[in-house]
């Protein structure tokens, strides 16, 4: 099978057993890889209603057919499990070199199940899989962990994914950290690792991948790399990294500020991309086979020491640990980001939880006595203390470690109104009031308020933004018109292009070079499959519906596809002044969106839709659970 290593690894930590089986070619063609594999495995193997932090959950690392090829951005890795934050399907992905290492070690998928009695790590190398003692690593930060592992295995070229104390202490939004700087952030899968007492997964290999049309692939990759470096469309990403988003979100008035009370930050110049470049940028890094170097490496000395060990912060961290908390100190933002990587916390959820607590303090729902100190807007020293308290579940930190939804339910006092989440996932740093498609995507994604599930409205404000997928006329970012089709189409397209192929989304945002036609061409060169663009996007639609079916089986319906009440209030200032996103706005969008998806009015895929997508067995399962009528 071209493009695949053809092996699935299964490790049961309870039994200490390790097994391998061949990857089924039919499954590969139907689900491609990454999220497709993970969603199918979790739908098929997890019992309904299990506790995500129990022995019953399974953790899946999955790569795609582009992994290990020279395709730029094609070697990312997906991590999936039932999320302890949302109680629904959880997936996250990360770049770097780990995805390539999994392929080189001979696998397409790794399933980790059960729960070890004492801390362990997995060492996967050259056909060997070992479950090794990690008792001595428990309690250590991600940096210390990687260092100790390199010493033990005498190999500092191995690729390490690990958790810090945040994951060990089951913070519900603990992330996983790869090579100390590539982060699988969202949905708390680091806590799932912690619950299994799995401290790290370490991979090294030298196996070679075979592709179907090597010569043609090389020609395509050469053209892509040339365009990435020379066409201009990727230049802002190369020069500023994702900091290139800071000025546009401020201009458009969609940068979440003061816990989404505002969407325009008056002190933006203090944290602009230019300021960050001048004050702390020391290097730029890249992921496997990508020439772009969009990853930042930062260093600072005062008022906090920030080392280059953990790479650097991205836009989401700048916004969530900056304007969201009214923090205008760039070094403090970088330090908070570093702490999150060191301890393995998701930066977005951490920032949203801190901003929530600051608003509770402002409104006297939480007092100095409750917290142990004053928690005023913009107080970055207090933010650092709070991060430590969250990681070690001390005092109010223990409440905030549960995520903003559970925290509000415990704190009460009306705080649910400013707990900014969708389905339990803290909102990403794009205010939907100024970009309605993103709001619809937050509401309908199986993950909740994640910003990487559909293409953003701004890219479609010009002529011929994405003609291959039918988008030729400009769509206003503030308008609802045309958004259900835009969101549905790009959820499906990105779902297969990025999350199943496990390829970089940044290179495929129009007008960047990795266009839909080229993606399908690359897939053909790698696998030898002859798919049309429509057939390709249909795979994304299949996987999207499978993810939805997982959540439906857990009880999700239209009532859960909602946005926080606060978004119904119109913004007062900035580039989206006057814009709101009311319940009735969302209702009208959902009606059209469900209809386009072939879902019933309550948001559940119909039997006919599942049949059309080749998911009859999923329909049968939903009938068995009385979610749809047989």
Partner 1 sequence: MDVRIRFYLSLKEAGLPKKEMAFKAKAGISIAELLRMMSKKYPVFGKSYLSNWLDKNEEIPLLITKNDYPVELESLIGKNDYIKIFEIVGGG
Least Å from the CB of residue 419 to partner 1: 24
Residue listed under structure tokens 């993810």: 547
- Asked if 180 and 309 count as a contact pair (C-beta separation under 8 A), the reply is yes
Q: Which CB, 142 or 272, lies closer to partner 1? A: 272
Q: Which CB, 203 or 509, lies closer to partner 1? A: 509
Q: Which CB, 252 or 503, lies closer to partner 1? A: 252
Ranges of H-type helices in 196-328: 214-230, 235-240, 246-251, 273-280, 315-320
What lies within 8 Å, CB to CB, of 549 at 6+ separation is 43, 605, 610, 615, 618, 621, 622
3 state SS of 493: helix
Least Å from the CB of residue 490 to partner 1: 11
Element (H, E) at 176: strand 176-178
Two tokens at 611?
């049949």
Least Å from the CB of residue 173 to partner 1: 19
Q: Which CB, 419 or 455, lies closer to partner 1? A: 455
Least Å from the CB of residue 231 to partner 1: 5
Least Å from the CB of residue 336 to partner 1: 18
Q: What are phi and psi of 468, to 5 degrees?
A: -60, -25
- Asked if 349 and 324 count as a contact pair (C-beta separation under 8 A), the reply is no
Q: Which CB, 9 or 228, lies closer to partner 1? A: 228
Q: Which CB, 470 or 528, lies closer to partner 1? A: 470
Q: Which CB, 291 or 598, lies closer to partner 1? A: 291
Q: Which CB, 39 or 273, lies closer to partner 1? A: 273
Alpha-carbon gap, residue 295 to 292, rounded angstroms: 9
Q: Which CB, 430 or 553, lies closer to partner 1? A: 430
Alpha-carbon gap, residue 252 to 458, rounded angstroms: 9
265: region left, alpha or beta (phi > 0 left; psi from -120 to 50 alpha): beta
Alpha-carbon gap, residue 174 to 186, rounded angstroms: 8
Q: Which CB, 85 or 459, lies closer to partner 1? A: 459
DSSP code per residue over 177-191? EETTTEEE-GGGHHH
Burial 297-307 (b: 16+ CB within 10 A, else e): bbbbeeebebe
Return residues touching partner 1 (CB under 8 A): 227, 231-233, 235-236, 239, 242, 244-245, 247-252, 269, 274, 314-316, 429-430, 435, 438, 451-452, 455-459, 461-464, 474, 476-477, 505-506, 509-512
Minimal CA–CA distance to 225: which of 103, 77, 87, 74? 74
Least Å from the CB of residue 72 to partner 1: 16
Least Å from the CB of residue 512 to partner 1: 7
3 state SS of 12: strand
Q: What are phi and psi of 587, to 5 degrees?
A: -60, -45
Least Å from the CB of residue 611 to partner 1: 34
Least Å from the CB of residue 350 to partner 1: 17
Bridge partners of residue 123, in order along the sequence: 130, 202
Least Å from the CB of residue 563 to partner 1: 18
Alpha-carbon gap, residue 573 to 577, rounded angstroms: 5
Minimal CA–CA distance to 312: which of 287, 290, 282? 282
Count of alpha carbons within 13 angstroms of residue 284, beta-carbon side = 14
Element (H, E) at 355: helix 347-362
Least Å from the CB of residue 579 to partner 1: 12
Q: Which CB, 194 or 311, lies closer to partner 1? A: 311
Alpha-carbon gap, residue 26 to 14, rounded angstroms: 30
Least Å from the CB of residue 505 to partner 1: 7
Least Å from the CB of residue 293 to partner 1: 15
DSSP code per residue over 228-248? HHHSSTTHHHHHHGGGGGHHH
Q: Which CB, 315 or 361, lies closer to partner 1? A: 315
Give the DSSP letter of residue 345: B
What lies within 8 Å, CB to CB, of 563 at 6+ separation is 422, 432, 439, 442, 443, 581, 586
Q: Which CB, 275 or 620, lies closer to partner 1? A: 275
């Amino acid at each position: 099978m071209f493009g695949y290593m053809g092996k699935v690894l299964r490790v049961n930590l309870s039994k200490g057993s390790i097994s391998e089986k061949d990857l089924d070619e039919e499954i590969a063609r139907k689900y491609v890889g990454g999220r497709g594999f993970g969603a199918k495995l979790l739908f098929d193997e997890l019992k309904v209603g299990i506790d995500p932090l129990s022995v019953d959950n399974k953790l899946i690392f999955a790569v795609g057919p582009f992994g290990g090829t020279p395709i730029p951005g094609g070697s990312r890795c997906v991590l999936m499990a039932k999320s302890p934050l949302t109680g629904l399907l959880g997936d996250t992905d990360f770049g770097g070199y780990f995805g390539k290492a999994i392929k080189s070690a001979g696998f397409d998928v790794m399933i980790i199940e059960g729960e070890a009695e004492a801390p362990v790590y997995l060492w996967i190398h050259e056909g060997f899989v070992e479950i090794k003692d990690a008792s001595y690593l428990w309690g250590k930060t991600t940096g210390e962990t990687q260092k100790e592992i390199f010493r033990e295995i005498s190999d500092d070229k191995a690729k390490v994914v690990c958790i810090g104390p945040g994951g060990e202490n089951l913070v519900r939004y603990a992330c996983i950290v790869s090579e100390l700087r590539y982060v699988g952030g969202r949905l708390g899968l680091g806590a799932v690792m912690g619950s299994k007492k799995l401290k790290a997964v370490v991979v090294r290999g030298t196996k070679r991948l075979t592709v179907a049309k090597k010569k043609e692939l090389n020609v395509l990759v050469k053209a892509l790399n040339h365009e990435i470096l020379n066409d201009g469309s990727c230049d802002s990403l190369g020069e500023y990294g994702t900091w290139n988003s800071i000025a546009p979100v401020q201009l458009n008035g969609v940068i979440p500020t003061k816990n989404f009370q505002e969407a325009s930050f008056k002190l933006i110049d203090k944290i602009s991309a230019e300021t960050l470049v001048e004050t702390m940028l020391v290097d730029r890094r890249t992921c496997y086979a990508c020439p772009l170097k969009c990853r930042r490496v930062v260093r600072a000395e005062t008022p906090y020491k920030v080392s280059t060990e953990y790479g650097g912060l991205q836009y989401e961290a700048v916004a969530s640990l900056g304007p969201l908390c009214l923090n205008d100190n760039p070094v403090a933002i970088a330090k908070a980001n570093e702490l999150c990587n060191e301890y393995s916390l998701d930066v977005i959820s951490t920032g949203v939880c801190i901003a929530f607590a600051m608003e509770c303090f402002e409104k006297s729902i939480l007092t100095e006595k409750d917290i142990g100190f004053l928690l005023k807007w913009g107080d970055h020293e207090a933010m650092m203390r709070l991060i430590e308290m969250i990681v070690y579940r001390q005092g109010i930190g223990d409440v905030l470690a549960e995520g903003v939804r559970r925290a509000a339910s415990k704190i009460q006092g009306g705080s649910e109104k400013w707990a900014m989440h969708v389905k339990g996932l803290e909102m990403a740093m794009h205010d939907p009031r100024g970009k309605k498609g993103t709001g619809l995507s937050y509401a309908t994604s199986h993950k909740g308020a994640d910003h990487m599930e559909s293409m953003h409205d701004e890219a479609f404000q010009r002529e011929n933004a994405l003609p291959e997928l039918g988008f030729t006329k400009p769509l206003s970012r503030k308008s609802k018109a045309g958004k259900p089709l835009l969101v549905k189409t790009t959820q499906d397209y990105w779902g297969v292009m990025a999350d199943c192929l496990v390829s970089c989304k940044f290179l495929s945002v129009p007008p960047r070079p990795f266009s839909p036609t080229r993606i399908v061409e690359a897939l053909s060169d790698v696998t030898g499959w002859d798919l049309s663009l429509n057939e390709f996007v249909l795979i994304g639609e299949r996987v999207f519906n499978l993810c939805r079916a997982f959540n439906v089986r857990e009880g999700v319906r239209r009532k859960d596809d909602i946005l926080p009440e606060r978004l119904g209030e119109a913004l007062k200032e900035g580039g989206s002044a006057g814009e709101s996103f009311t319940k009735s706005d969302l209702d009208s969008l959902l009606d059209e969106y469900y209809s386009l998806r072939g879902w019933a009015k309550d948001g559940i895929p119909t039997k006919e839709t599942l049949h059309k997508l080749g998911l009859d067995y999923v329909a049968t399962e939903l009938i068995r659970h009385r979610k749809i009528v047989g």
